[in-house]
Amino acid sequence: MSNRTFTMIKPDATSKGYTGAILDQIIKAGFTVKAMKWIKLSEEQAGLFYDIHRARPFFGELVDFMSSGPIVAAILEKENAVADFRELIGATNPANAAEGTIRKNFAASIGENAVHGSDSDENAVIEGDFFFSKLERF
């Protein structure tokens, strides 16, 4: 069990003006921000981040979507961070997400689902390293 996870607020949510409300929900749930940046991914960068999904039928849509506008990338800290954050964001498809979760509150569809949350401690480290140098985190 690690105490860190990685998140992105996705382009659908930043463009709809949900960034502040989502960060507020994350912080009120007990997570501390250890690194954060507001950036726009190129198609190539989005493809590299989601390389594991390259063979999936939705890969092209996912890359187009994730490079369509700015995102907020962040490393978060809390006891049991990965599992607790997955619970806070809810199911991938907002139609199946529990009441009160971030995806239930802010997401429109399975593709444009407002937030990313790492699915394992190992991926949390890989994903955090993708975005942040040692100088950019504490």
Residue 130, interface with ligand GDP (CB under 6 A)?
no
Catalytic-labelled residue, pool 115, 116, 127, 132: 116
Among 110, 120, 121, 125, binds ligand GDP (CB under 6 A): 110
Residue 92, interface with ligand GDP (CB under 6 A)?
yes
Q: Which residue has the tokens 């690194």?
A: 35
Residue 116, interface with ligand GDP (CB under 6 A)?
yes
Please report which residue ranges of 6-135 form alpha helices under DSSP H: 11-15, 19-28, 43-49, 59-66, 81-89, 102-106, 121-131
What letter represents residue 28's amino acid?
K
| Nearest Cα to Cα of residue 22 among 3, 11, 5, 9 | 9
Stretch that binds ligand GDP, among 21-29, 32-40, 56-64, 129-137 (CB under 6 A): 56-64
Site residues (vs ligand GDP, CB under 6 A): 58, 61-62, 92, 110-111, 113, 116, 119
